[in-house]
A = this chain, B = another copy of it.
């Protein structure tokens, strides 16, 4: 027992990208101990004069070259024993790069290799990063269900097949097209747009645009900005 005098504070980023209806996660192969050679989430230690948000952006950019992504604080992991070097908090962040925008990542400081992995085929990760990435995906799926996140990720006009492909990529399961379509039309404010070709089938398709509220539940990028 006894009070914890001081802990190390790190940030780790679960950076997702959507490409061709598949969800990928950006990982780095560690060059240093502990877990040298293992894949891990990009992250690092917070600087003395730095906010947590700034540290997350900096570490993602330094390790992988991915710069300017929209990061949101996810959760803080702080179980005793999660880092063999001593009590270490990981303030985890999540990023979702827009469709068609998985920027080429480069190998940064302390990193042997960097790569995008399909979310359903991640290697075993260092520390408790398996748990952090699984939790990030669960939260992403929750936000897709409960908030208009899909309509931030999709292009301005889309088919219900596009919406379904997005849900299927994030949730890792298939949905019955006609039930899914009914649910989406009941749940969201979708306005039909005069038909163009479906970008998958090349046949005339029913296009929609989203006309409902766009506010997303969850932490704003910077809590200073909330009233």
Chain A at the B interface: SS class: mixed
Given contacts A134-B227, A226-B135, A4 and B46 within 8 Å (CB-CB): yes
The answer to the question of A1 belonging to the interface, with a C-beta cut-off of 8 Å to chain B, is: yes
Known contacts A73-B75, A138-B227, A226-B135; decide if A6 and B3 are in contact (CB<8 Å).
Answer: no
State which of A18-26, A116-124, A143-151 sits at the interface with chain B. Answer: A143-151
Closest B residue to A80 by beta carbon equals B49
The distance in angstroms between the C-alpha atoms of A89 and B226, with both chains bound, is: 19
Are B80 and A223 interface neighbours, CB within 8 A?
A: no
The answer to whether B3 and A224 touch across the interface, beta carbons within 8 angstroms, is: no
Closest B residue by C-beta to A3: B45
In the complex, chain B residues whose CB is within 8 Å of the CB of A134 = 226-227
Could you tell me the distance between the alpha carbons of A5 and B142 in the complex, rounded to whole angstroms?
35
Residues of B within 8 A of A217 (CB): 139, 142-143, 145-147, 217
A157 CB within 8 Å of chain B: no
Task: Decide: A224 and B131 in contact? CB cutoff 8 A.
Answer: yes
Quick one: CB contact mask for A204-227 with B, threshold 8 Å, 1 for yes?
A: 000000000000011100011011
> Which residues from chain B contact A79 at a C-beta distance below 8 Å?
51-52
How far is it, in angstroms, between the C-alpha of A89 and the C-alpha of B49 when the chains are bound?
Answer: 13
**B contact residues around A4 at 8 Å (CB):** 9, 45-48, 50
Chain A positions within 8 Å of B, measured between CB atoms, are: 1-9, 45-52, 73, 75-80, 87, 89, 91, 131, 134-135, 138-139, 142-143, 145-147, 217-219, 223-224, 226-227
